[in-house]
């Protein structure tokens, strides 16, 4: 089981109160727990985290360095939960709830996230290892505490309301913050820690492998999870806190959402690509009219690469042809290029290996290469760990290196 689900929200909130009050007795009164119960809760949490959170002194209690870092994370996590509850109550036209950490539990939040993800109590129960009645009861108790319906029946499926999906986003952000807190503890103890990166086709062949190689050499105790998915899916995962960074997408203007930030890493060169026996390879420079004579495979409407392809024609005063095949998979598109006189638009990195093998090649065109700005994206309120910050810095350094090599 994920270690964060063993945490008690009320006890997490008490840590900040203890830190502010400076003593267990003063904090116990504020959080409505007896002093022995609070001391027992702190001790249990320290054993669970395997770290000392407070220094016990005659003059009172003071958080350790690890304790300060953990309290910062827990306070951020609980603020996300409070924001989500406030959203639910306001949408239901209900009065705000004080001390929400005393009204809901981790098991209730875990159950809701699982049902929202699976659209089924049975599937959710199997996913998190609880009985179906226990999952159902946990969700019902949570709905009762919040005062709003979050799930509705749709035949045999259970459909989350729009309000539930918005609330779950804040829950996921809360969970992500707590996981990051665990990573910071691991980093302080044995140089560990975790980073989750979303990547897009442009970065996959060369840039990201080189980045991960450099990072692994510098931080042998850290682990990195790499997720491949379409841009919109990665953006959703980023905004929910499921991944820390997205690397390799093109800069969007304006930014894709008001709660994310993007930073350009380097300019990527784009080329017309065909197989090495393509008739246009016999031309010293292909004209825009030459390109109209052959079938194209390009991504769907709205994708930046598709817009770059359309710009290629329109800058020459020609409307782009209707593509024969719309495909967002670079792997499928590369395979298609090998089968006939197809053309596509790609970054050089995306067909590097086929180019080295003599299977695919760029086709020079009038006006030269196109360029697009490649980006790194993160949540606006992201508070990275030191190793997460280091990986982002290394990405910037590599981007600067690439920029210096461009003609």
Q: Is the peptide bond before 254 cis (omega within 30 degrees of 0)?
A: yes
Q: What is the DSSP letter of 300?
A: P
Tokens matching residue 307: 């817009």
Q: 3-class DSSP state for residue 151?
A: strand
Taking the domain 3-168, which CATH number applies?
1.10.10.10
- Residues 115-133 have a mean pLDDT of 93
Tokens matching residue 116: 């929202």
- Write down the architecture of domain 268-371 according to CATH: 3-Layer(aba) Sandwich (3.40)
In angstroms, the CA 347 to CA 309 distance is 12
Q: How much is the pLDDT for 48?
A: 94
- Residues 156-167 have a mean pLDDT of 90
pLDDT over 70, % of the chain: 99
Residue environment code for 115-143, b if the CB has 16+ CB neighbours within 10 A, otherwise e: bbebebbebbbebbebeeeebbebbebbb
Q: How much is the pLDDT for 192?
A: 79
Q: Give whole-number Cα distances, 321 to 293, 311, 372, 401, in Å.
A: 9, 12, 21, 37
Tokens matching residue 344: 């596509």
1, pLDDT greater than 70: no
Residue 3 CB-half CA count within 13 A: 15
21, pLDDT greater than 90: yes
Q: Which residue has the tokens 């890493």?
A: 265
What mean pLDDT value characterizes the chain?
Answer: 92
Q: pLDDT tens digit string along 70-99?
A: 999 999 999 999 999 999 999 989 998 889
Tokens matching residue 143: 């709905």
CB atoms within 10 A of CB 225: 12
Q: How much is the pLDDT for 13?
A: 94
Q: How much is the pLDDT for 57?
A: 84
Q: How much is the pLDDT for 155?
A: 79
202, pLDDT greater than 90: no
CB 240 within 8 A of CB 175: no
CATH 3.40.640.10 assigned to domain 188-265+373-405? The reply is no
Q: Give whole-number Cα distances, 307 to 197, 288, 301, in Å.
A: 25, 16, 8
Q: pLDDT tens digit string along 274-328?
A: 999 999 999 989 999 999 999 999 999 988 889 999 999 998 899 999 999 999 8
Residue 338, sorted as left (phi over 0), alpha (psi -120 to 50) or beta, turns out to be alpha
The reply to whether domains 3-168 and 268-371 share a CATH topology is no
Tokens matching residue 156: 């045999």
Q: Where are the domains of the chain?
A: 3-168, 188-265+373-405, 268-371
- Residues 243-254 have a mean pLDDT of 91
Q: Give whole-number Cα distances, 52 to 56, 70, 76, 269, 301, in Å.
A: 10, 11, 20, 52, 54
Q: pLDDT tens digit string along 212-237?
A: 999 999 999 899 999 999 899 999 99
- Residues 259-268 have a mean pLDDT of 93
DSSP 224-285: EEEEE--HHHHHHHHHTTS-SEEEEEEP-SS-S-TTEEEEEEEEEEEEEEEETT-GGGGSSS
- Residues 361-377 have a mean pLDDT of 87
pLDDT over 90, % of the chain: 75
pTM to 2 decimal places: 0.87
Of the two residues 392 and 405, the one the predictor is more confident about is: 392
Q: Which residue has the tokens 């820690």?
A: 193
**Angle made by CA atoms 109, 114, 116, in degrees to the nearest 5:** 95
59, pLDDT greater than 80: no
Q: How much is the pLDDT for 104?
A: 95
DSSP 328-385: --HHHHHHHHTTSS-BEEEEGGGGHHHHHTTSEEE--BTT--EEEEEEEEEETT----
Q: How much is the pLDDT for 289?
A: 93
Q: Which residue has the tokens 């969970």?
A: 175
Q: How much is the pLDDT for 186?
A: 87
Q: How much is the pLDDT for 407?
A: 63
**Angle made by CA atoms 9, 15, 21, in degrees to the nearest 5:** 135
């Amino acid at each position: 089981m994920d270690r964060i689900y063993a945490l008690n929200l009320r006890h997490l909130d008490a840590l900040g109160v203890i830190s502010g009050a400076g003593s267990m007795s003063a904090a116990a009164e504020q959080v409505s727990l007896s002093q022995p119960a609070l001391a027992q809760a702190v001790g249990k949490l320290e054993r669970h985290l395997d770290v000392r959170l407070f220094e016990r002194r005659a003059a009172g209690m003071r958080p350790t360095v690890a304790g300060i870092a953990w309290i910062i994370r827990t306070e951020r996590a609980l603020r996300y939960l409070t924001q989500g509850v406030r959203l639910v109550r306001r949408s239901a036209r209900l009065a705000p709830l004080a001390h929400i950490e005393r009204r809901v539990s981790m098991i209730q939040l875990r159950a809701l996230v699982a049902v929202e993800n699976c659209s089924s109590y049975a599937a959710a129960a199997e996913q998190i290892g609880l009985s179906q009645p226990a999952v159902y009861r946990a969700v019902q108790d949570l709905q009762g505490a919040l005062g709003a319906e979050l799930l509705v029946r749709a035949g045999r499926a259970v459909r989350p309301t729009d309000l539930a999906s918005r609330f779950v986003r804040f829950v996921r952000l809360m969970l992500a913050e707590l996981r990051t807190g665990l990573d910071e503890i691991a980093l302080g103890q044995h140089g560990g820690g975790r980073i989750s990166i979303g990547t897009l086709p442009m970065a996959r062949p060369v840039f990201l492998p080189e980045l991960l190689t450099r990072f692994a050499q510098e931080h042998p105790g850290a682990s990195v999870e790499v997720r491949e998915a379409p841009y919109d899916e990665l953006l959703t995962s980023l905004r929910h806190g499921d991944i820390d960074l997205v690397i390799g997408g093109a800069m969007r203007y304006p930014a894709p959402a008001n709660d994310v930030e993007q930073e350009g890493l380097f300019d990527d060169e784009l080329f017309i690509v065909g197989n090495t026996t393509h008739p246009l390879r016999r031309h010293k420079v292909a004209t825009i009219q030459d390109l109209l004579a052959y079938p194209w495979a390009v991504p769907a409407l709205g994708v930046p690469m598709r817009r770059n392809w359309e710009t290629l024609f329109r800058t020459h005063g020609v409307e782009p042809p209707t593509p024969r095949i719309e495909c967002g998979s670079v792997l499928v598109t590369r395979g298609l290029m090998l089968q006939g006189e197809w053309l596509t638009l790609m970054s050089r990195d995306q067909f590097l290996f086929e180019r080295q093998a003599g299977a695919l090649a760029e086709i020079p065109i009038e006006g030269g290469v196109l360029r697009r700005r490649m980006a790194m994206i993160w949540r606006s309120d992201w508070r990275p760990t030191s190793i997460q910050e280091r990986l982002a810095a290394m990405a910037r350094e590599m981007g600067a290196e690439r920029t210096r090599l461009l003609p």
